[in-house]
Amino acid sequence: MSVTDVVLPGCAAVALLVFAVRLAREPRRLGNAVWLGVALLLTGLWLLRAALHLEWLAPVLGVLVAVVALLVAVVLPAALIVNGVRMVRREGRSLANLLSFVLGVGMLTLDGLFFAPLGRWGSALVATAAVLACYFGFLFASLLGYSILYGRLARHTGIDAVIVLGCGLAGERVTPLLAARLDRAIRLYEREPAPPLLVVSGGQGPGETMTEAAAMHEYLRAHGIPADRIRREDRATTTEENLEFSAELLPGGVRPHRVLAVTSDYHVFRTAVECRRLGLPFDATGAPTARYFLPSALLREFAALILHYRRTTIAACVLIVGGGLALALFA
């Protein structure tokens, strides 16, 4: 048995233990996603190394790796481009709606540069860009996996209050995205033995003829929620303000650790991270989102979370770029 055969499973076990401890202490931390990703990556490498000792399995693994590489390098960026075109057609042309298209084009461009004769420094820059892409890809996959896990672990019963986060209106009409959040809040309300207070949060944005809170209030009343179980917060324009201003409206009888923020499924973990940053012991839960909308929405959430930890992100990028340049200089 080689040293690697002992080190890999040992490191995987340590990473998994750190993740479990951090999860038990505070599930609303971005670092939990990274530790989960590290643990799964090390476990995968360990299993791959163990499988390579089986001669009959090596060709199968080679084919599997080739298929995965093809999916990541060609199929994924092509799918992102198609999704970007669909987003623009359905939601309009904006930078947010073009995220998946831009990412897909960028990935295909990076693939092509690997086969271009760029010389020593050009090749070094392409290799450095590839390492950066792998770094951000790892972070994205870790956050996506942990977001799904967090959504299943968050409190869904025993609720004193539900805060519904606004996400824009079409004039004065509740959009399908916002209706899904309100429907989720109604289901939570109806299944509690003691119906919770519903706080609808959202100000008036560009192109809207009334506040989001007022439109949400009307929607809830039309679906049978009593007026005395609804409170309106009509100043917020950001997630941070949604949570902060809504917290101010909660009556004294509401236990803060029994408050649940309702948003869209792609937005759940960032909402939870924001709650922790504001010192609010709220959990978050999500409502379903149209599939075509998810890629761009997830990319926006990823960018927002990375900006929360921009110092760490900048430090990691400087380290990767600096290392790549140093290797090109001294190779």
CA–CA dist 280, 262 (Å, integer)? 15
pTM, whole model, 2 decimals?
0.87
The pLDDT mean for the chain works out to 89
Tell me, yes or no, whether 111 lies in a domain: yes
Looking at the fold, whether 305 and 282 belong to one and the same domain comes out as no
Model confidence at 291, in pLDDT bands (50, 70, 90)?
confident
With pLDDT > 90 as the criterion, what percentage of the chain qualifies?
56
Q: How far is CA 329 from CA 125, 133, 324, in A?
A: 12, 22, 9
Position 118 scores a pLDDT of 79
Looking at the fold, whether 105 and 182 belong to one and the same domain comes out as no
Looking at the fold, whether 173 and 234 belong to one and the same domain comes out as yes
CA–CA dist 264, 267 (Å, integer)? 5
Q: How far is CA 96 from CA 59, 250, 266, 303, 318, in A?
A: 42, 33, 14, 11, 26
Position 4 scores a pLDDT of 60
Model confidence at 66, in pLDDT bands (50, 70, 90)?
confident
| Residue 266 belongs to domain with CATH number | 3.40.50.620
Q: For residue 112, what are the domain limits?
A: 78-153+292-331
Looking at the fold, whether 298 and 279 belong to one and the same domain comes out as no
Position 9 scores a pLDDT of 86
Sign of CA dihedral 285, 288, 291, 297: negative
**Burial class of residue 123 (count of CB atoms within 10 Å of its CB; 0-12, 13-18, 19+):** middle
Looking at the fold, whether 168 and 207 belong to one and the same domain comes out as yes
194-217 tens-digit pLDDT: 899 999 999 988 878 899 999 999
Q: Does residue 1 carry a pLDDT above 60?
A: no
Tell me, yes or no, whether 139 lies in a domain: yes
15-46 tens-digit pLDDT: 999 999 999 999 999 999 999 999 999 998 88
Q: For the chain, how many structural domains are there in total?
A: 2
245-281 tens-digit pLDDT: 999 999 988 888 899 999 999 999 999 999 999 999 9
With pLDDT > 70 as the criterion, what percentage of the chain qualifies?
98
Q: Name 302's Cβ contacts closer than 8 Å, sequence gap at least 6.
A: 139, 140, 143
